[in-house]
Amino acid sequence: MNRRSRSLATRVREHIGFSVIAIGVLFIVLRLLGVRSTFAGFMLSVGITLALNVGLSYYNDRRARSSRPQAAPRGGGDIRWREDDRPRDDR
């Protein structure tokens, strides 16, 4: 069940819509609040958002494929029933 790795162009295509819509909504809200914005600022924001999303996509795929076992969370389990806090039967 080994997934084929995706190319940079595929990753950009997957994330471009989200980046444009998310930053577009943000700029519209800022415009309604009276903050002036430029087209260059919009494009820079879309570029930064796109780069972060694609970078995180690469990072998550690499982490999922690593053969290292993930470290178990420390102190795991239900904290309501720690060994020293369990109700005791003192009969």
Domain positions in the chain: 15-66
Query: Tens digits of per-residue pLDDT, 34-72?
Result: 998 899 999 999 999 999 999 999 898 888 887 776 666
| Cβ pair 85, 58 in contact under 8 A | no
pTM higher than 0.85 for the full model? Answer: no
pLDDT-derived band of residue 89, with 50, 70 and 90 as boundaries?
low
The Cα–Cα gap between 39 and 29 comes to 15
Indicate if the alpha-carbon torsion angle 38, 39, 41, 42 is positive or negative.
positive
